[in-house]
Protein backbone atom coordinates (compact mmCIF):
# COMPACT_ATOMS: atom_id res chain seq x y z
CA UNK A 1 0.00 0.00 0.00
CA UNK A 2 1.31 3.46 -0.83
CA UNK A 3 2.32 5.80 1.96
CA UNK A 4 -0.77 7.66 3.21
CA UNK A 5 -1.04 11.38 2.70
CA UNK A 6 -0.43 13.34 5.86
CA UNK A 7 -3.31 15.34 7.31
CA UNK A 8 -2.60 17.87 10.10
CA UNK A 9 -3.94 16.84 13.48
CA UNK A 10 -6.35 19.37 15.03
CA UNK A 11 -5.71 20.74 18.50
CA UNK A 12 -6.25 17.91 20.96
CA UNK A 13 -5.32 16.32 24.22
CA UNK A 14 -1.86 14.80 24.38
CA UNK A 15 -3.30 11.42 25.34
CA UNK A 16 -4.97 11.18 21.94
CA UNK A 17 -1.76 11.61 19.95
CA UNK A 18 -1.53 7.99 18.87
CA UNK A 19 -5.19 7.38 18.17
CA UNK A 20 -5.41 5.98 14.61
CA UNK A 21 -6.96 8.20 11.97
CA UNK A 22 -9.31 7.05 9.26
CA UNK A 23 -8.10 7.47 5.70
CA UNK A 24 -10.26 7.65 2.61
CA UNK A 25 -9.74 4.37 0.74
CA UNK A 26 -8.11 4.00 -2.64
CA UNK A 27 -10.28 2.85 -5.52
CA UNK A 28 -11.21 -0.78 -5.04
CA UNK A 29 -10.67 -0.81 -1.25
CA UNK A 30 -13.57 -1.50 1.05
CA UNK A 31 -14.31 0.71 4.03
CA UNK A 32 -11.65 2.91 5.61
CA UNK A 33 -8.05 2.14 6.49
CA UNK A 34 -6.76 2.83 9.98
CA UNK A 35 -3.59 4.95 9.81
CA UNK A 36 -1.21 5.39 12.74
CA UNK A 37 0.26 8.93 12.71
CA UNK A 38 3.32 7.67 14.53
CA UNK A 39 4.22 5.67 11.38
CA UNK A 40 2.99 7.86 8.52
CA UNK A 41 3.97 11.28 9.81
CA UNK A 42 4.04 14.57 7.92
CA UNK A 43 5.67 15.01 4.53
CA UNK A 44 8.86 17.01 4.16
CA UNK A 45 7.03 19.58 2.00
CA UNK A 46 4.40 20.10 4.70
CA UNK A 47 7.06 20.59 7.38
CA UNK A 48 9.04 23.04 5.23
CA UNK A 49 5.95 25.09 4.37
CA UNK A 50 4.71 25.16 7.94
CA UNK A 51 8.15 26.26 9.16
CA UNK A 52 8.70 28.86 6.42
CA UNK A 53 8.33 31.69 8.93
CA UNK A 54 11.29 30.31 10.89
CA UNK A 55 13.43 31.18 7.86
CA UNK A 56 12.55 34.89 7.95
CA UNK A 57 12.51 35.13 11.75
CA UNK A 58 16.03 33.75 12.00
CA UNK A 59 17.26 35.79 9.03
CA UNK A 60 16.17 39.00 10.76
CA UNK A 61 17.13 38.17 14.36
CA UNK A 62 20.49 36.55 13.59
CA UNK A 63 21.78 39.16 11.15
CA UNK A 64 20.52 42.05 13.27
CA UNK A 65 22.40 40.86 16.34
CA UNK A 66 25.66 39.84 14.69
CA UNK A 67 26.10 42.14 11.66
CA UNK A 68 23.51 44.93 11.36
CA UNK A 69 23.25 46.34 14.89
CA UNK A 70 27.02 46.29 15.65
CA UNK A 71 27.58 48.22 12.42
CA UNK A 72 24.66 50.57 13.04
CA UNK A 73 25.89 51.19 16.60
CA UNK A 74 29.19 52.43 15.18
CA UNK A 75 27.32 54.48 12.55
CA UNK A 76 24.85 56.11 14.96
CA UNK A 77 26.80 56.14 18.27
CA UNK A 78 30.45 56.22 17.28
CA UNK A 79 31.86 57.07 20.74
CA UNK A 80 29.65 54.74 22.79
CA UNK A 81 28.98 51.98 20.32
CA UNK A 82 29.56 49.01 22.69
CA UNK A 83 27.25 50.34 25.38
CA UNK A 84 24.58 51.38 22.88
CA UNK A 85 24.76 47.96 21.22
CA UNK A 86 23.90 46.49 24.61
CA UNK A 87 20.99 48.95 24.92
CA UNK A 88 19.63 48.11 21.47
CA UNK A 89 19.86 44.37 22.12
CA UNK A 90 18.18 44.92 25.47
CA UNK A 91 15.31 46.80 23.82
CA UNK A 92 14.76 44.04 21.30
CA UNK A 93 14.88 41.47 24.07
CA UNK A 94 12.11 43.15 26.05
CA UNK A 95 9.69 42.58 23.18
CA UNK A 96 9.73 38.88 24.08
CA UNK A 97 7.48 39.84 27.00
CA UNK A 98 4.62 40.13 24.51
CA UNK A 99 4.66 36.35 24.01
CA UNK A 100 2.40 35.22 26.90
CA UNK A 101 -0.18 37.97 26.26
CA UNK A 102 -0.27 37.22 22.55
CA UNK A 103 -0.51 33.51 23.30
CA UNK A 104 -3.34 34.06 25.79
CA UNK A 105 -5.34 36.01 23.20
CA UNK A 106 -4.52 33.53 20.43
CA UNK A 107 -5.67 30.53 22.47
CA UNK A 108 -9.06 32.21 22.95
CA UNK A 109 -9.53 33.47 19.40
CA UNK A 110 -12.65 32.40 17.52
CA UNK A 111 -11.66 34.06 14.24
CA UNK A 112 -12.95 32.33 11.13
CA UNK A 113 -9.34 32.24 9.88
CA UNK A 114 -8.11 30.23 12.87
CA UNK A 115 -6.53 30.95 16.22
CA UNK A 116 -2.98 31.66 15.07
CA UNK A 117 -2.97 33.10 11.56
CA UNK A 118 -4.67 36.51 12.13
CA UNK A 119 -2.14 37.65 14.73
CA UNK A 120 0.65 36.11 12.68
CA UNK A 121 -0.27 38.54 9.90
CA UNK A 122 -0.74 41.51 12.27
CA UNK A 123 2.74 41.00 13.69
CA UNK A 124 4.23 40.81 10.20
CA UNK A 125 2.62 44.13 9.23
CA UNK A 126 4.04 45.82 12.34
CA UNK A 127 7.48 44.35 11.66
CA UNK A 128 7.47 45.64 8.09
CA UNK A 129 6.37 49.13 9.21
CA UNK A 130 9.19 49.20 11.76
CA UNK A 131 11.72 48.27 9.09
CA UNK A 132 10.60 51.20 6.93
CA UNK A 133 11.10 53.66 9.80
CA UNK A 134 14.49 52.11 10.70
CA UNK A 135 15.68 52.73 7.15
CA UNK A 136 14.56 56.39 7.28
CA UNK A 137 16.05 56.94 10.76
CA UNK A 138 19.38 55.50 9.65
CA UNK A 139 19.50 57.74 6.59
CA UNK A 140 18.88 60.92 8.59
CA UNK A 141 20.97 59.90 11.64
CA UNK A 142 17.93 59.90 13.95
CA UNK A 143 19.54 57.55 16.45
CA UNK A 144 16.81 57.37 19.08
CA UNK A 145 14.04 57.10 16.49
CA UNK A 146 16.02 54.17 15.10
CA UNK A 147 15.96 52.45 18.50
CA UNK A 148 12.20 53.02 18.79
CA UNK A 149 11.55 51.66 15.29
CA UNK A 150 13.83 48.71 15.99
CA UNK A 151 11.84 47.87 19.10
CA UNK A 152 8.54 48.11 17.19
CA UNK A 153 9.82 45.93 14.34
CA UNK A 154 11.06 43.17 16.64
CA UNK A 155 7.86 43.44 18.69
CA UNK A 156 5.87 42.69 15.54
CA UNK A 157 8.18 39.84 14.67
CA UNK A 158 7.77 38.33 18.13
CA UNK A 159 3.98 38.65 17.95
CA UNK A 160 4.10 36.56 14.79
CA UNK A 161 6.58 34.14 16.35
CA UNK A 162 4.37 33.55 19.40
CA UNK A 163 1.54 32.42 17.11
CA UNK A 164 3.78 30.49 14.74
CA UNK A 165 5.31 28.34 17.49
CA UNK A 166 1.83 27.26 18.59
CA UNK A 167 1.00 25.94 15.12
CA UNK A 168 3.29 22.92 15.48
CA UNK A 169 1.69 21.39 18.60
CA UNK A 170 -1.72 22.30 17.12
CA UNK A 171 -1.10 20.39 13.90
CA UNK A 172 1.57 17.80 14.71
CA UNK A 173 1.36 14.48 16.59
CA UNK A 174 3.80 14.43 19.50
CA UNK A 175 5.56 11.35 18.08
CA UNK A 176 6.91 13.58 15.29
CA UNK A 177 7.62 16.77 17.25
CA UNK A 178 11.34 16.04 17.25
CA UNK A 179 11.34 15.84 13.45
CA UNK A 180 9.25 19.01 13.23
CA UNK A 181 11.58 20.75 15.67
CA UNK A 182 14.56 19.65 13.59
CA UNK A 183 12.94 21.10 10.47
CA UNK A 184 12.27 24.34 12.34
CA UNK A 185 15.93 24.51 13.34
CA UNK A 186 17.08 23.73 9.80
CA UNK A 187 14.89 26.48 8.33
CA UNK A 188 16.20 28.86 10.98
CA UNK A 189 19.81 28.05 10.14
CA UNK A 190 19.19 28.42 6.40
CA UNK A 191 17.53 31.79 6.96
CA UNK A 192 20.46 33.05 8.99
CA UNK A 193 22.92 31.64 6.44
CA UNK A 194 21.11 33.41 3.60
CA UNK A 195 21.11 36.68 5.54
CA UNK A 196 24.80 36.55 6.40
CA UNK A 197 25.63 35.80 2.76
CA UNK A 198 23.59 38.81 1.59
CA UNK A 199 24.75 41.40 4.11
CA UNK A 200 28.29 40.19 4.47
CA UNK A 201 29.20 39.94 0.79
CA UNK A 202 26.49 41.06 -1.62
CA UNK A 203 24.46 43.97 -0.25
CA UNK A 204 25.16 47.08 1.78
CA UNK A 205 23.66 47.20 5.26
CA UNK A 206 21.19 49.94 4.26
CA UNK A 207 19.43 47.42 1.98
CA UNK A 208 18.84 44.99 4.85
CA UNK A 209 15.52 46.57 5.77
CA UNK A 210 14.07 46.08 2.30
CA UNK A 211 15.20 42.45 2.29
CA UNK A 212 13.59 41.93 5.70
CA UNK A 213 10.24 43.20 4.43
CA UNK A 214 10.25 41.03 1.30
CA UNK A 215 11.25 37.84 3.13
CA UNK A 216 8.76 38.37 5.98
CA UNK A 217 5.86 38.87 3.55
CA UNK A 218 6.77 35.79 1.50
CA UNK A 219 7.29 33.38 4.41
CA UNK A 220 4.28 34.51 6.44
CA UNK A 221 2.11 34.03 3.36
CA UNK A 222 3.46 30.50 2.84
CA UNK A 223 3.05 29.47 6.48
CA UNK A 224 -0.52 30.80 6.55
CA UNK A 225 -1.39 28.90 3.36
CA UNK A 226 0.01 25.59 4.65
CA UNK A 227 -1.45 25.86 8.17
CA UNK A 228 -5.06 24.86 7.50
CA UNK A 229 -6.60 25.89 10.80
CA UNK A 230 -10.20 25.30 11.75
CA UNK A 231 -12.08 28.09 13.49
CA UNK A 232 -12.77 27.55 17.16
CA UNK A 233 -16.51 27.79 17.81
CA UNK A 234 -16.29 28.94 21.41
CA UNK A 235 -13.59 29.97 23.88
CA UNK A 236 -13.20 30.78 27.54
CA UNK A 237 -13.97 34.42 28.46
CA UNK A 238 -11.14 36.92 28.86
CA UNK A 239 -9.86 37.28 32.41
CA UNK A 240 -7.32 39.82 33.66
CA UNK A 241 -6.21 37.50 36.46
CA UNK A 242 -5.64 34.68 33.97
CA UNK A 243 -3.67 37.04 31.72
CA UNK A 244 -1.43 37.99 34.66
CA UNK A 245 -0.97 34.34 35.56
CA UNK A 246 0.08 33.68 31.95
CA UNK A 247 3.40 35.29 32.87
CA UNK A 248 4.13 32.77 35.59
CA UNK A 249 4.90 29.07 35.88
CA UNK A 250 3.49 26.80 38.58
CA UNK A 251 6.82 25.33 39.65
CA UNK A 252 5.21 22.59 41.75
CA UNK A 253 2.73 21.42 39.10
CA UNK A 254 5.01 21.92 36.08
CA UNK A 255 8.52 21.44 37.42
CA UNK A 256 9.98 20.12 34.19
CA UNK A 257 8.67 23.08 32.19
CA UNK A 258 10.21 25.47 34.72
CA UNK A 259 13.66 23.89 34.44
CA UNK A 260 13.43 23.88 30.65
CA UNK A 261 12.69 27.62 30.97
CA UNK A 262 15.77 28.18 33.16
CA UNK A 263 17.95 26.12 30.81
CA UNK A 264 16.88 28.29 27.89
CA UNK A 265 17.56 31.53 29.77
CA UNK A 266 21.21 30.62 30.22
CA UNK A 267 21.48 29.33 26.66
CA UNK A 268 20.34 32.71 25.33
CA UNK A 269 22.63 34.56 27.73
CA UNK A 270 25.49 32.61 26.16
CA UNK A 271 24.41 32.82 22.53
CA UNK A 272 23.72 36.58 22.73
CA UNK A 273 27.43 37.28 23.31
CA UNK A 274 28.06 36.46 19.64
CA UNK A 275 27.04 40.08 19.03
CA UNK A 276 30.49 41.16 20.28
CA UNK A 277 32.34 38.97 17.78
CA UNK A 278 32.70 41.79 15.26
CA UNK A 279 34.37 44.02 17.86
CA UNK A 280 36.67 41.17 18.95
CA UNK A 281 37.85 40.56 15.39
CA UNK A 282 38.52 44.26 14.98
CA UNK A 283 40.36 44.84 18.27
CA UNK A 284 42.09 41.51 19.05
CA UNK A 285 42.67 39.86 15.67
CA UNK A 286 43.02 43.29 13.94
CA UNK A 287 40.97 42.16 10.95
CA UNK A 288 40.68 44.99 8.42
CA UNK A 289 37.17 44.17 7.18
CA UNK A 290 35.64 42.91 10.42
CA UNK A 291 32.06 43.03 9.11
CA UNK A 292 32.85 40.82 6.14
CA UNK A 293 34.82 38.35 8.28
CA UNK A 294 32.06 38.25 10.91
CA UNK A 295 29.53 37.42 8.20
CA UNK A 296 31.80 34.66 6.87
CA UNK A 297 32.21 33.10 10.32
CA UNK A 298 28.46 33.35 10.92
CA UNK A 299 27.80 31.61 7.60
CA UNK A 300 30.17 28.78 8.57
CA UNK A 301 28.44 28.59 11.94
CA UNK A 302 24.95 28.42 10.45
CA UNK A 303 25.89 25.96 7.71
CA UNK A 304 27.34 23.45 10.18
CA UNK A 305 24.27 23.96 12.39
CA UNK A 306 21.92 23.36 9.46
CA UNK A 307 23.69 20.12 8.56
CA UNK A 308 23.24 18.66 12.03
CA UNK A 309 19.83 20.08 13.02
CA UNK A 310 17.52 17.66 11.17
CA UNK A 311 19.48 14.48 12.12
CA UNK A 312 19.55 15.68 15.74
CA UNK A 313 15.77 16.13 15.76
CA UNK A 314 15.34 12.62 14.36
CA UNK A 315 17.70 11.18 16.98
CA UNK A 316 15.89 12.98 19.79
CA UNK A 317 12.60 11.27 18.87
CA UNK A 318 14.29 7.90 19.40
CA UNK A 319 16.88 8.42 22.12
CA UNK A 320 15.66 11.44 24.06
CA UNK A 321 16.27 15.20 24.03
CA UNK A 322 18.59 15.67 27.00
CA UNK A 323 21.73 13.86 25.73
CA UNK A 324 21.85 16.17 22.71
CA UNK A 325 21.51 19.27 24.88
CA UNK A 326 24.32 18.10 27.16
CA UNK A 327 26.56 17.53 24.15
CA UNK A 328 25.70 20.92 22.65
CA UNK A 329 26.43 22.81 25.87
CA UNK A 330 29.77 21.04 26.25
CA UNK A 331 30.78 21.98 22.70
CA UNK A 332 29.68 25.64 23.00
CA UNK A 333 31.39 26.05 26.39
CA UNK A 334 34.63 24.70 24.90
CA UNK A 335 34.41 27.20 22.04
CA UNK A 336 33.89 30.18 24.36
CA UNK A 337 36.81 29.01 26.46
CA UNK A 338 38.89 28.87 23.29
CA UNK A 339 37.80 32.39 22.30
CA UNK A 340 38.94 33.62 25.73
CA UNK A 341 42.51 32.55 24.85
CA UNK A 342 42.56 34.98 21.90
CA UNK A 343 43.42 32.44 19.20
CA UNK A 344 44.42 33.18 15.61
CA UNK A 345 41.81 33.77 12.93
CA UNK A 346 42.44 30.30 11.42
CA UNK A 347 41.62 28.68 14.76
CA UNK A 348 38.53 30.86 15.15
CA UNK A 349 37.24 29.55 11.82
CA UNK A 350 37.38 25.95 13.06
CA UNK A 351 35.86 27.02 16.35
CA UNK A 352 32.97 28.53 14.41
CA UNK A 353 32.33 25.14 12.82
CA UNK A 354 32.26 23.53 16.27
CA UNK A 355 30.03 26.25 17.70
CA UNK A 356 27.59 25.75 14.83
CA UNK A 357 27.39 22.02 15.52
CA UNK A 358 26.69 22.65 19.19
CA UNK A 359 24.15 25.36 18.46
CA UNK A 360 22.40 23.21 15.86
CA UNK A 361 22.06 20.30 18.29
CA UNK A 362 20.55 22.57 20.95
CA UNK A 363 18.06 24.29 18.65
CA UNK A 364 16.97 21.03 17.03
CA UNK A 365 15.58 19.71 20.33
CA UNK A 366 14.91 22.91 22.28
CA UNK A 367 11.40 23.42 20.90
CA UNK A 368 10.50 19.72 21.13
CA UNK A 369 11.61 19.65 24.77
CA UNK A 370 9.36 22.64 25.51
CA UNK A 371 6.40 20.93 23.80
CA UNK A 372 7.09 17.72 25.76
CA UNK A 373 6.89 19.54 29.08
CA UNK A 374 4.48 22.45 28.53
CA UNK A 375 1.49 22.60 30.90
CA UNK A 376 -1.34 22.26 28.37
CA UNK A 377 -1.59 21.38 24.68
CA UNK A 378 -4.92 23.22 24.47
CA UNK A 379 -3.22 26.47 25.58
CA UNK A 380 -0.09 25.90 23.51
CA UNK A 381 0.42 29.54 22.50
CA UNK A 382 0.17 30.76 26.09
CA UNK A 383 2.60 28.11 27.35
CA UNK A 384 5.06 28.72 24.55
CA UNK A 385 4.70 32.45 25.14
CA UNK A 386 6.03 31.93 28.67
CA UNK A 387 8.75 29.75 27.17
CA UNK A 388 9.60 32.64 24.84
CA UNK A 389 10.13 34.96 27.82
CA UNK A 390 13.23 32.90 28.58
CA UNK A 391 14.71 34.23 25.34
CA UNK A 392 13.88 37.76 26.51
CA UNK A 393 15.65 37.25 29.82
CA UNK A 394 18.67 35.61 28.25
CA UNK A 395 19.11 37.88 25.25
CA UNK A 396 18.61 40.96 27.46
CA UNK A 397 20.75 39.99 30.44
CA UNK A 398 23.58 38.59 28.32
CA UNK A 399 24.52 41.83 26.47
CA UNK A 400 23.62 44.09 29.40
CA UNK A 401 26.14 42.22 31.57
CA UNK A 402 28.73 41.73 28.82
CA UNK A 403 28.86 45.37 27.67
CA UNK A 404 29.98 46.69 31.11
CA UNK A 405 32.41 43.76 31.42
CA UNK A 406 33.96 44.69 28.09
CA UNK A 407 34.09 48.39 28.99
CA UNK A 408 35.58 47.78 32.47
CA UNK A 409 38.18 45.10 31.74
CA UNK A 410 38.89 46.27 28.19
CA UNK A 411 39.24 50.01 28.76
CA UNK A 412 41.91 51.73 26.66
CA UNK A 413 42.78 55.32 25.90
CA UNK A 414 41.17 54.81 22.48
CA UNK A 415 37.37 55.16 22.85
CA UNK A 416 36.86 53.17 19.64
CA UNK A 417 38.71 50.03 20.74
CA UNK A 418 38.91 47.58 23.67
CA UNK A 419 41.75 45.41 24.97
CA UNK A 420 42.11 41.62 24.89
CA UNK A 421 41.32 41.40 28.62
CA UNK A 422 37.84 42.78 28.01
CA UNK A 423 37.01 40.13 25.43
CA UNK A 424 38.49 37.43 27.67
CA UNK A 425 36.01 38.47 30.38
CA UNK A 426 33.10 38.39 27.92
CA UNK A 427 33.99 34.93 26.58
CA UNK A 428 34.54 33.47 30.05
CA UNK A 429 31.05 34.72 30.92
CA UNK A 430 29.76 32.87 27.84
CA UNK A 431 31.47 29.69 29.03
CA UNK A 432 29.77 29.95 32.41
CA UNK A 433 26.35 30.63 30.89
CA UNK A 434 26.22 27.60 28.60
CA UNK A 435 27.64 25.34 31.33
CA UNK A 436 24.81 26.44 33.62
CA UNK A 437 22.34 25.75 30.81
CA UNK A 438 23.41 22.12 30.69
CA UNK A 439 23.62 21.86 34.47
CA UNK A 440 20.04 22.98 35.08
CA UNK A 441 18.75 20.56 32.46
CA UNK A 442 19.71 17.78 34.89
CA UNK A 443 16.67 18.84 36.94
CA UNK A 444 14.28 17.96 34.08
CA UNK A 445 12.77 14.51 34.58
CA UNK A 446 11.52 14.18 31.00
CA UNK A 447 13.83 12.38 28.62
The pLDDT tens digits for 381-418 are: 566 667 777 877 887 788 888 888 998 898 887 767 88
- Would you say residue 5 has pLDDT above 50? no
The pLDDT of residue 65 is above 60: yes
Q: Give yes or no for residue 434 having a pLDDT over 50.
A: yes
- Start-to-end CA distance of the chain, whole Å, equals 34
Once rounded to an integer, what is the mean pLDDT over residues 6-15? 42
Q: Is residue 90 part of a domain?
A: yes
Q: Is residue 89 part of a domain?
A: yes
**pLDDT tens across 38-50, in order?**
456 678 888 898 8
What pLDDT shows up at residue 9?
Answer: 44
> Helix 255-271 to helix 420-441 angle, to the nearest 10 degrees?
160
Where is average pLDDT lowest: 18-27, 109-118, 165-174?
18-27
Please report the pLDDT score of residue 36 as a whole number. Answer: 39
Position 129 scores a pLDDT of 97
| Residue 100, in any domain of the structure | yes
DSSP secondary structure code for residue 424 in this structure? H
Task: Evaluate if residue 253 carries a pLDDT over 60.
Answer: yes
Position 128 pLDDT exceeds 80: yes
Kindly state whether residue 304 falls inside one of the protein's structural domains: yes
The continuous run of DSSP H or E covering 23 comes out as strand 21-23
The residues with which 33 forms a beta bridge, in sequence order, are 23
pLDDT of residue 331 exceeding 90, the answer is yes
**Residue 105 parent element (H or E):** helix 98-107
Q: Which residues contact 303 (CB under 8 A, 6 or more apart)?
A: 189, 193, 356
Residue 157 lies in a domain: yes
CATH assignment of the domain containing 273:
1.20.1250.20
User: Higher pLDDT residue, 370 or 155?
Assistant: 155
Confidence bin at 18 (pLDDT 50/70/90):
very low
User: Where residue 330 falls among pLDDT bands split at 50, 70, 90?
Assistant: very high
**Any domain includes 221:** yes
Q: Does residue 6 lie in a domain region?
A: no
Distance CA 117, CA 172 (A): 16
pLDDT at 335: 94
- Binned at pLDDT 50, 70 and 90, residue 26 comes out as very low
Higher pLDDT, 434 or 167: 434
**What is the structure's pLDDT at 219?**
96
Question: What number of other Cβ atoms are within 10 A of residue 415's Cβ?
Answer: 12
| Residue spans of alpha helices (H) in 374-419 | 380-409
The reported pLDDT for the residue numbered 15 is 37
> To the nearest whole number, what is the mean pLDDT of the chain?
81
Q: Is the pLDDT of residue 21 over 70?
A: no
State the pLDDT confidence band at 209, using cuts at 50, 70 and 90: very high
The answer to whether the predicted template modeling score (pTM) of the entire model surpasses 0.95 is: no
Which residue segment(s) compose the domain that 311 sits in?
45-231+240-441
Looking at residue 377, what is its pLDDT?
62
Per-residue pLDDT at 191 exceeds 60: yes
> If DSSP codes are grouped into helix, strand and coil, which group holds residue 3?
coil
Percentage above 70 pLDDT, the chain: 87
Contact assessment for residue 343 and residue 277, using Cβ atoms and an 8 Å cutoff: no
Question: What's the structural domain count of the chain?
Answer: 1
pLDDT at 254: 80
pLDDT band at 200 (very low <50, low <70, confident <90, very high): confident
Asked if residue 15 belongs to a domain, the reply is: no
pLDDT at 239: 74
pLDDT given at position 334: 94
Tell me what the mean pLDDT of segment 142-148 comes to. 92
Amino acid sequence: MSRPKYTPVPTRDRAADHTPRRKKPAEGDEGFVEVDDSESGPSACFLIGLNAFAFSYSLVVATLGVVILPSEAIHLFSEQHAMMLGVMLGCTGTTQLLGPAVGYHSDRSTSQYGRRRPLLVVGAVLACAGCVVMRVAREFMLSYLYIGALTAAIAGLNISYACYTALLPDLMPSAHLGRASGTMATMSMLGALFGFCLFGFLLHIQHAYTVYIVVIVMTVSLTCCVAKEKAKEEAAPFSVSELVSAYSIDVVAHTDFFWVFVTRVFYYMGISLQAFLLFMLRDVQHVKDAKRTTALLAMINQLSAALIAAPSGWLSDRYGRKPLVYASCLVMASVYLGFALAPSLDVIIWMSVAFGLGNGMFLSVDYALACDTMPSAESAAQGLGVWGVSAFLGSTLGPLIAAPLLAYFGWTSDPNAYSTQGYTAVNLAGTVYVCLSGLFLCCVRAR
